[in-house]
Each structure stands twice: as C-alpha cells, then as structure tokens.
Amino acid sequence: MMVKIPGVLTQEQVTKIRAVIDAGPWVDGNETSGHQSRLTKRNQQLRQHCDAAAEAGQMVLSAIGNTPEFVAAALPLKVFPPLFNRYEGGEEFGNHVDNSIRQVKGTEFRIRSDLSCTLFLEEPDDYEGGELVVEDLFGEHRVKLSAGDMVLYPASSLHRVTPVTKGARTASFFWLQSMVRDNGEREQLYRLDRSIRNLSAEKGGTDPTVMELTNLYHNLMRRWADA
C-alpha cells in the first residue's frame, strides 16, 4: 500500500527545517548504506547524529505525530530517527530494497522496517528529475510531491530515485515498524478507519453503524497488532 499524505509540514515548518539542515554538515550519502545500496547510491546526506540532524529530526517526529492520516496509515510502533538527503548534479539512487532491520549505530534501538517514508522538503518545480519510483505488481509508481508532503510505501518494495539534472532535491527519509506487520492487514485497517471517519462526519460519532464499525476496527486491531 502506498499512501500520499499532503500537508504534514506547513510552509513555515519547511522553512525552519531547511534553515537547520542547510547549515549542517553534509557528507557522502553512503554513510548509512548497506552493501547492496552502495552499488547504486550517489547522493549527499546530512551527517547522522549531528546537532542539525537531531534538531530537524525532532521537528519531523513532532509533525508526523500530529498528523492523523499518518498515524492511521502507518500505525507506528517504533520510528527510526529521521535522516536527510540531497540530490543534485546528476546524482541518483538506483534500484534497491531497504534493509529489513535498521539499527541506530552505537545503541540498542532497532526496528523491523515495515514502511519507508519520504517527506519532501523542496518544491517540485525547483528541480528536474528526482522522482521516487516504487515498483509493485501493478507496475511503477512515480512520486514527486510538494514541499511538506509525504509518501509511505512498503519497505519491501523495489524503488529508486531518478537522476536530478537541474536544481537540488532535498528530503527527509526514515523507516518505521508498524504495530501491524502484514501490509494487507494494515491496508484493510486503514480503509476501515477512513470509512469510519467519513461516516462519522456525516452521521455523528454515536450513530449505530459508526459504533459497530468502530467496534470491528478495534477488535481487528486486537487480533493483528503488537503494542
């Protein structure tokens, strides 16, 4: 399941985050790459664990925690500290699959990467190329969103970032472990949650049908979720 979530960050928040990260130390993007990714990755990355990454990452975590659509779609259990990357001058990231387990170096914090997340921090008209291309059984999905918008997709997906031929593409990226491991079960819960919210807005939260669907949602969560 791929979910696009608009307006995770306001324009003011985007500006604040960019001010922090643009002034930070940028290094070769392979700082956090696995063996396979190193073969296809050419980009820059804000140095992991630096003050700028910590400050900007906390702003991203605060924003996603206050975005109901993100919580409903991801059902996050643990979120990897957000990272930041930049592509310019023909840089790209060829086809790859994200590591199944991500660990913060030097700590015991680790997650199973169920979902990959990209939060765009550059307006699409300000650079050429730089599309996120995600492949699944239905073909290729090309994503290039407005600054402040986010896309979630299964970390198991084969994906790439096309070469940036003009300007620069800046984004935050991270992974999360969902309370619901199975992508199909997570999708059903998300669709049910959306239906409940839409029906509740139309008929009110105490409508018998809304109450029954809400009961069904929570019983499925009890069956499928790890808390």
Is 70 exceeded by the pLDDT of residue 81?
yes
The answer to whether 96 is annotated as binding is yes
Computed over every residue of the chain, the mean pLDDT equals: 95
- In the chain, residues under CATH classification 2.60.120.620 are 3-178
The answer to whether 159 is annotated as binding is yes
Separation of alpha carbons 143 and 135, rounded Å? 11
The answer to whether 197 is annotated as binding is no
Separation of alpha carbons 150 and 218, rounded Å? 26
Place of tokens 């906390």: 58
Backbone angles phi, psi at 99, to 5 degrees: -60, 140
Segment 111-138, tens digit of pLDDT: 999 999 999 999 999 999 999 999 998 8
Separation of alpha carbons 8 and 120, rounded Å? 10
* Token pair for 159: 């994906």
Q: Which fold has domain 183-224?
A: DNA Excision Repair, Uvrb; Chain A (4.10.860)
Is 80 exceeded by the pLDDT of residue 179?
yes
Segment 2-12, tens digit of pLDDT: 999 999 999 99
Segment 86-98, tens digit of pLDDT: 999 999 999 999 9
Handedness of CA 46, 51, 54, 57 (dihedral sign): negative
> Which CATH number is correct for 3-178, 2.30.30.100, 2.30.40.10, 2.60.120.620, 3.40.50.720?
2.60.120.620
- In the chain, residues under CATH classification 4.10.860 are 183-224
* Token pair for 50: 């630096």
Question: Model pTM?
Answer: 0.94
Strands in 3-154 per DSSP E? 3-5, 26-28, 41-42, 44-46, 76-79, 83-88, 92-96, 101-103, 110-112, 115-120, 128-129, 132-136, 139-143, 150-154
- The pLDDT of residue 163 is 98
